[in-house]
Homo-oligomer: A and B are copies of this chain.
Amino acid sequence: MTHIIKGWETARSVRTRVAERVAELTAGGRCRTPGLATVLVGDDPASAVYVGAKRRAVREAGMRDVHRHLPGHAAQEDVAAVVDRFAADPEVHGILIQLPLPAHLDAPALIDRIPVAKDVDGLTTGSAGLLARGERVLRPCTPSGIIELLDAEGVGLKGARVTVVGWGELVGRPLAQLLLRRGATVTVAHEYTADLAAATRPADIVVVATGVRGLVGREHITPGATVVDVGIHRTPQGLAGDVRAAELEGVAGRITPVPGGVGPMTIAMLLANTLEAAEWEAERAAVPA
């Protein structure tokens, strides 16, 4: 029997923990209400749905929901000015620019205007550098959600052999760093890997984040392994992942379903990061200069 990892449940418990801590922190005005500022540019319907879900989660956790929606033709300096204003605003502890941005904007330059201390998506160059150097830093939400999920399931990481399939900026790269920090032996495979099965079969844990539907199946997985599927694809039969999950029933020891596996963790970790940013700010404020 393959155990199905219930991402919704772990996500809900993270969100509850965050909400309780927010209530505790702000009780009696001991600390500012943690605030997340979201920036949406243009009218992409999917982006609007994602931002809406994030803002709702922020309010449900008792945090401050700050939002700016700019028109799709907004100039680089207009978006930059919004980010800079949030960067300077003491009521804002986290800043999230919803991606993708319209093509005429320089997204990396805008992201890098977010101060590392407010970089709740963990996407700035500064955050990537601190992560690579093993320092304390807000971690990108999807990779840290995967770690949280594995921890919640009691999957040991220290000394585990983990193969990460996909070396993208949002998931594969930072996840490999986080796994190494936890003591896993990590293999990174990608489009140039000639024999993918040779790279995944020795692994105790296989994480697939390629954006290629159904890339990984029976031939890639050793019986009993834990499989984490980060892909999400719309199909006529509903949502599907990067893993051919049906083939792994009875083979994988544990698997994250699509939907309801990794997905819900991303918003939960965004809330956790916003809380962490607010707590760090409170710590810094408490230390006499």
**What residues make up the interface of A, taking CB atoms closer than 8 Å to B?**
108, 124-135, 158-159, 161, 167, 169, 173-174, 176-177, 180, 183-190, 192-194, 198-199, 202
Contact = CB atoms under 8 A, between A and B. Distances in A.
* Chief secondary structure at chain A's binding surface: mixed
Contact of A188 (B186, B192, B194): B186
A212 B202 CA distance: 26
A188 B198 contact: no
A161 B189 CA distance: 9
A161 B193 CA distance: 8
A169 B125 contact: no
A190 B199 contact: no
A198 B193 contact: no
Contacts of A186: 187-188
Contacts of A130: 125, 128-129
Report the copy number of this chain in the oligomer: 2
Contact of A133 (B125, B158, B192, B199): B125
Contacts of A173: 132
A248 to B, nearest CB: 22
Contact of A169 (B133, B158, B169, B176): B133
Nearest to A181: B167
Contact of A183 (B108, B125, B128, B192): B192
9 contacts: A125-B130, A128-B130, A132-B132, A132-B174, A133-B169, A158-B192, A180-B190, A183-B190, A186-B188
B199 A185 contact: yes
Nearest to A182: B192
What 7 pairs between A and B have smallest CB-CB spacing?
Answer: A129-B129, A125-B129, A183-B192, A128-B129, A187-B187, A128-B132, A185-B193
A75 to B, nearest CB: 19
Contact of A180 (B127, B129, B188): B188
Contacts of A134: 169
A100 B190 CA distance: 37
A128 B169 CA distance: 14
